[in-house]
Copies of this chain bind each other. A is one copy, B any other.
Amino acid sequence: MPIKSANDVQAQVVKAGDKTTIQVLQEGPNFAMRRFVMQPGGGMPEHTNTVEHEQYVLRGCANIGIGGGVYSVKAGDVVFIPEGVPHWYQNVGEEDFEFLCTIPNKPDEIRVIGKEC
């Protein structure tokens, strides 16, 4: 089926995160679309990936740290995180912070900063 509801896609807990789940919505030949949901108070610690992220905020509001800058984001915001740039997320709202995150089909390695060992 070429159509599915995102709500029907199984959510998995993101081990490196806090109160955060990921759903892999679509895996195409060149890139994959995922949806993250971070509950109030949740987020992800500072980390790097070996692939870039193109993101679109669906719901809620959060602070996102990218390469030393801190940005407040809300629904309808577009976020670009280049490969290798340290970044983190913190849901600072009272509802879920929900966003799409698309990555290329290339090997990804996540490295949480300060947890090398």
Query: Cβ of B2 and Cβ of A104 under 8 Å apart?
Result: no
Name, among A2, A9, A56, A67, the residue most crowded by chain B CB atoms within 10 Å (CB to CB): A2
Task: Report the stretch among A11-19, A28-36, A38-46, A109-117 that lies at the interface.
Answer: A28-36
Chain A residues touching B, range: 35 or more
Q: Mark A34-64, 1 if CB is under 8 A from B, else 0.
A: 0000000000000000001010101000001
Interface string of A47-91 (1 = CB under 8 A from B): 000001010101000001011010101001111110100000000
Contact (A33, B78) CB under 8 Å given A2-B66, A73-B3: yes
Judging by beta carbons under 8 Å apart, are B78 and A4 in contact?
yes
Distance from A62 Cβ to chain B, minimum over Cβ atoms (Å): 11
Q: Are B28 and A77 closer than 8 Å at their CB atoms?
A: no
Offer 9 A-B interface pairs, CB within 8 angstroms, sorted by A: A2-B71, A2-B81, A3-B71, A4-B78, A6-B56, A25-B54, A29-B52, A58-B58, A102-B102
Extra pairs beyond A6-B76, A33-B54 (4, CB < 8 Å): A7-B76, A30-B52, A31-B102, A33-B78
